[in-house]
Amino acid sequence: MTFNESANITRTLEPLHWARQIVLLDSLSTDNTVAIARSFANVSIHQRAFESHTAQWNHGIGLVQTDWVLALDADYVTNPEFAAELERLLILPGTNAFFARFIYCVFGRPLRASLYPPRAVLFRRESARYVPDGHTQLLRFDGNAGDLNVPIRHDDRKPLGQWLQAQGRYARLEAEKITAGGASSFHDSIRKWIVLAPLLTPLYCLFCKGLILDGWVGWHYAFQRTIAEMILSLRVIEQKLTTR
């Protein structure tokens, strides 16, 4: 799924030359995303106005004709080792999804750790459906899940201004989830402590995760996550003040 991903889409598509067909669902991008994608012969381009991440992803699943789906964000970067693992993957009976770990990158430089969780990226199409989870989506599937060994790189190189612009929208949806009692993880539970999360985030990233050893890219990530938590706290406070 894409929207104004010209800074990333080439790095995502190039390693996927082995795929017979890549379904790209674009949310009416205003940059060169679609033009770049058209230069790849194995990419099938579809466009649809954005409703929500969940609606877009489920629509995308409907465009796939194979039994299994490899679902990648436009800033995910795979490598030949990942493709080789897929080719030799042993699928046990009852297994309908596989989770991948991620190496988070800042300006192409990998971090030693991040807050980005493993995600289900490979799944049997008829056994899975996306459901809302704050600003993003989660995959619900029948049966069991396995784990992929080769990690995927999360390498988003869109401008900082574009990232900041998106945070307001994301924080509103996350605030609605948290205030509605939809916290689904320990991280979400911490976010309910409105003041605590923005204070703990830089300490946790820099010292518990060791990102202070990664230099400026570690500081960049820690500050980025702190800003995201601060905006979220502002949204939660705003909801408390306006619903009384």
Q: Which long-range contacts (CB under 8 A, 24 or more apart) does 64-67 make?
A: 64/23, 64/125, 66/125, 67/124, 67/125, 67/126
* pLDDT, position 51: 92
Q: Do both 90 and 118 map to the same domain?
A: yes
Q: Pick the residue with more confidence: 105 or 196?
A: 105
Structure confidence at residue 200 as a pLDDT band (50, 70, 90): very high
* pLDDT, position 3: 96
Q: Do both 146 and 171 map to the same domain?
A: no
**Cβ-based neighbours of 244, under 8 Å, separated by 6 or more:** none
Structure confidence at residue 50 as a pLDDT band (50, 70, 90): very high
Residue 183 has pLDDT above 60, yes or no: no
Q: Do both 146 and 197 map to the same domain?
A: no
- CATH (domain of 47): 3.90.550.10
- Inside any domain, residue 86: yes
Do the Cβ atoms of 32 and 6 come closer than 8 Å? yes
Structure confidence at residue 73 as a pLDDT band (50, 70, 90): very high
The whole-angstrom separation of Cα 120 and Cα 142 is 13
Residue 32 has pLDDT above 70, yes or no: yes
**152 vs 31, 57, 88, 119, CA distance in Å?**
25, 19, 17, 10
Tokens standing for 54?
């969940």
Q: How many structural domains is the chain composed of?
A: 2
Do the Cβ atoms of 75 and 125 come closer than 8 Å? no
Mean pLDDT score, 19-45: 98
Q: Do both 90 and 73 map to the same domain?
A: yes
Tokens standing for 214?
């990664």
Average pLDDT of every residue of the chain: 93
Report helix, strand or coil for 227.
helix
Structure confidence at residue 30 as a pLDDT band (50, 70, 90): very high
Mean pLDDT score, 187-215: 87
Q: Do both 20 and 57 map to the same domain?
A: yes
Residue 23 has pLDDT above 90, yes or no: yes
Q: Do both 116 and 131 map to the same domain?
A: yes
> 196-203 and 216-242 helices cross at what angle (nearest 10)?
170
Do the Cβ atoms of 180 and 77 come closer than 8 Å? no
Residue 107 CB neighbours (<10 A): 10
What residue numbers bound the domain in which 23 lies? 9-154
Task: Please report how many Cα atoms fall inside a 13 Å half-sphere around the Cα of residue 164, on the Cβ side.
Answer: 5
Could you read off the pLDDT of 89-137 as tens digits, one per residue?
Answer: 999 999 999 999 999 999 999 999 999 999 999 999 999 999 998 888 9
Q: Do both 137 and 206 map to the same domain?
A: no
Residue 181 has pLDDT above 70, yes or no: no
Q: Do both 23 and 106 map to the same domain?
A: yes
β-sheet bridge partners, residue 133: 136
* pLDDT, position 186: 58
* pLDDT, position 25: 98
* pLDDT, position 120: 98
Q: What is the DSSP string of 105-174?
A: EETTEEPS--SPPPEEEEEEGGGEEEEEETTEEEEEESSEEEE-SS-EEE---S-HHHHHHHHHHHHHHH
Report helix, strand or coil for 74.
coil
Could you read off the pLDDT of 126-176 as tens digits, one per residue?
Answer: 999 999 988 889 999 999 999 999 999 999 999 999 999 889 888 888 888
